[in-house]
Structure 1
C-alpha cells in the first residue's frame, strides 16, 4: 500500500515538473540560496545606512548567515545564550525544528568569528553597534531582538533593499531574483558557501551538525559535535579567505581578566 502511494506521488511530481518546464516555469520550489557576493553587498548596504532599524537588520542578517540557522531561531535567541571565549563569539541554540526540546545541542555552542578584513560582514562589530544603540538588551532578561514581528520586519527591510532602484541591478547581476529571494535564502547560501565556496571546505559532517541536520544511518549515531570542526565551519562561513593566512588570524581576543567578577559577568 505505502509503496503504491510512494510510486504515485513520484509520478505526480515527475508529471508536474515536466508541465512546469513545458510552460517555462521553474521546476524547483522554495527560495534560492543567496550567493556570497550578494550577501556582502546586502551587508554593506545595511551597514552604511543611517536608518535606526537597519542597525538591527544588519545584525540579524549576519547572525542568520553565521549561525547557519533558520530565521525563527535568530528571532527567538536570548541574550543570555551568547558568550565569548578567546577570539570567538559563542552562541547556544535553543529548541529548533531539528531539536524540539533543545537538548541536542545544549552543551555545544556555535563559534562565530570576526572578519577584520571586511567590517561590513563582521558579526562582532555588528553586535557591538547594536548593543550601543540598544543598551537595554544587556540590562534585562530579554531576547536580542525584543519586540513583536521581528521576522516580518527584517524580511520587509531586505526585500526593500533588494528591489530598490539603487541596488536592484546589482543584485540581479549577482544572481538574486527578488521573487525567489527570502530570509531562508541566507541559510541556504551560508551552507552552500561553507561546503562549496572553496576547495578546502570543512567536513560535511561538521556542516550538517552546524545546520542541525540529521545525518543518514549510523553516521547520526556515531558522529558527534567537536569544537574544532565547528570552529572550522565558523571561520569558513564568516567570509574569511580560506586560502590565506587571514583565515586563522586570531583577532580580537576577549580578555576580561582585569575586571572585577561582577563587571566580568555584565560584560
Structure 2
C-alpha cells in the first residue's frame, strides 16, 4: 500500500507540473517559438505517463488538453502565415556546403581533416551525424566505380529487419573540394597520428571509446567535428551574406543538412532521381508499403549517389569515372603501405582508390593549400621520385574497358552522342570552308 500511495503521490505531482507546462495560460506563447510539434511531443509524453502508472486520465483533463491543442494549432498556423515563426531548420544550400568544405580543406588543423571527412560523408549518405559516427571499416565495400556503405541501423528500421541496401558514394574529379574519396585519402594519411592523439585524450578524460574499427576512430571525433565546424562561423560571416538567412554566430548550429540532400538531388532538374530512391537513401519512412511495393534496385541509389556527390547531371561528365590506377603492381602496393601506414587491411581496396585520388589531384592540393599545411608533411609529398611514376598510371577514363560507369541515366549517353555529332559537324564545316577558300583562291589566280 505504501508503494501504491507513493506512486499516486508521484503521479499527482507530475500531473500538476505537466499541466502547468502544457495547459497553462502562458504555455501557448512559449510553444509558438517551437511550433506545434514540440507541444505534440509533450502531450504524447503526458498520456504515456498515465499508461506507465496504469491509470486512466479523467474526462475533464482530456477535454481540456484537446481544447488547448486545437487552440494552439490555430495560433501556430496564424503565426506561420504572418512569418513570426519558421517551421524546421534552415537547409544548407549546396553553395554554402561547398564554401564550408573548402574552408575546412584550407585549414591547417589536423582535427579539421577528420571533420571535413565527417561532413562530406554525412552529406553524401544523406544521413544524420549520429548515423555517420557509427560507420565501421567493415561497412565499406568497393564495387565497380563506387564506394558502397552498409548501415547496421537506420531510423526507418529500428529493429533491423529490413534488407541491408548499400549507399553508393562516388568520387568527384570535377569538383575535388567536395569529393569524398579524396577526403578519405587525406584522412588515411594521418590515420596513426590522429588515432593516437584521440586515444590519449580519451584516456585522460575517461571518454568512452567506441568501436575500434570505426571509420571515425572514436566517439570523441564526433564532438571534435562539431567543435571544428563552430570554428568556421566567423570566417564565413565575411565571405557570405544572405538576405533571408543571416550567418550569425549560431547559424551553422541551426542549419540542417539532413533535409537539404533531397533538395540537392531534385532541385531545378526535370530529370531528377526517382523520389522513392531518394527517400529510401535518406532513411525516411513511407509507411507499410515501403518493403512490399516501393523497393528500388541498386541503379536507383547509384543515380542518387552521383547526383548528391555533385556531378553535373545535365552534362556528359556526369558519367565520369573515379581516378584509378591502370595497373596494380608491387609498386602501387608499396606506395599504399608508405602513404597509409597502419591502415586496416579490410579497406585496402578502398585505400587504393583514395591514393589514386590524391595523386590525381596533387596539383589542385598544391594550388589551394598553404605551404605549412600538414598534408605536405606526409610521406606522399616528401617522396619526389615516386609521385611522377604513379601519376603516369592514374586516369579517369575507361580506355581499356575494365571499369564502366554505373548509375548513369540514358540522357547522359544521348548528350555524349550529341556532342560527338556536334564535333564531327564542326570538323566537316571547317573542312568545307577550307576547300571553298582554296578553290576560290585558285580561280582568282587563274583570272
Q: TM-score, normalised by structure 1?
A: 0.83
Between 219-228 and 250-259, the greater mean CA deviation after superposition: 250-259
| Coordinate RMSD, CA, aligned | 3.2
Equivalent position to 2:120, from 51, 62, 65:
62
Equivalent position to 1:13, from 61, 67, 73:
73
Cα distance, 1:86 vs structure 2: 1.5
Secondary structure of 2:169's aligned partner: strand
Matched residue, 1:44: 102
Q: 1:192 to 1:5 in 2, by over 3 A?
A: farther
Superposed, 1:117-156 pairs within 5 Å as 117-135=174-192, 141-156=212-227
Find the aligned partners of 1:3 and 1:204 in 2 and give their Cα distance: 40
Secondary structure of 1:182's aligned partner: helix
Secondary structure of 1:96's aligned partner: coil
Find the aligned partners of 1:185 and 1:12 in 2 and give their Cα distance: 26
Superposed, 1:211-250 pairs within 5 Å as 211-216=282-287, 218=289, 220-250=291-321
Find the aligned partners of 2:68 and 2:297 in 1 and give their Cα distance: 42
Between 214-223 and 112-121, the greater mean CA deviation after superposition: 214-223
Report the number of matched residues. 259
Equivalent position to 1:209, from 275, 280, 304:
280
Find the aligned partners of 1:60 and 1:4 in 2 and give their Cα distance: 47
Answer yes or no: is the 8 Å Cα contact 1:34–1:189 preserved in 2. yes
Find the aligned partners of 1:11 and 1:256 in 2 and give their Cα distance: 70
Matched, 1:27 2:96: no
Answer yes or no: is the 8 Å Cα contact 2:137–2:347 preserved in 1. no
Question: Structure 2: which 5+ residue stretches go unaligned?
Answer: 1-58, 196-210, 334-343, 350-447
Find the aligned partners of 2:347 and 2:123 in 1 and give their Cα distance: 27
Matched residue, 2:419: none
Between 249-258 and 65-74, the greater mean CA deviation after superposition: 249-258
- Rg comparison, structure with higher value: 2
Find the aligned partners of 1:61 and 1:183 in 2 and give their Cα distance: 15
Matched residue, 1:195: 266
Matched residue, 1:158: 229
Secondary structure of 1:90's aligned partner: strand
Find the aligned partners of 2:130 and 2:120 in 1 and give their Cα distance: 14
Find the aligned partners of 1:255 and 1:221 in 2 and give their Cα distance: 42
Secondary structure of 1:222's aligned partner: coil
Q: For each residue in 1:109-130, what CA deviation from the matched residue of structure 2 results, as whole angstroms up to 9, or x when unmatched?
A: 1100000011110000001110
Q: 1:74 to 1:109 in 2, by over 3 A?
A: same
Could you say which structure has the higher helix fraction? Answer: 2
Answer yes or no: is the 8 Å Cα contact 2:140–2:347 preserved in 1. no
Cα distance, 1:142 vs structure 2: 1.6
Equivalent position to 1:97, from 155, 163, 172:
155
Secondary structure of 1:61's aligned partner: helix
Q: 1:152 to 1:236 in 2, by over 3 A?
A: same
Find the aligned partners of 2:252 and 2:241 in 1 and give their Cα distance: 11
Q: 1:79 to 1:197 in 2, by over 3 A?
A: farther
Cα distance, 1:206 vs structure 2: 0.4
Find the aligned partners of 1:200 and 1:85 in 2 and give their Cα distance: 25
Find the aligned partners of 1:182 and 1:242 in 2 and give their Cα distance: 30
Q: TM-score, normalised by structure 2?
A: 0.52
Cα distance, 1:213 vs structure 2: 1.4
Superposed, 1:173-192 pairs within 5 Å as 173=242, 175=245, 177-178=247-248, 179-182=250-253, 185-192=256-263
Find the aligned partners of 1:204 and 1:78 in 2 and give their Cα distance: 28
Matched residue, 1:172: 241
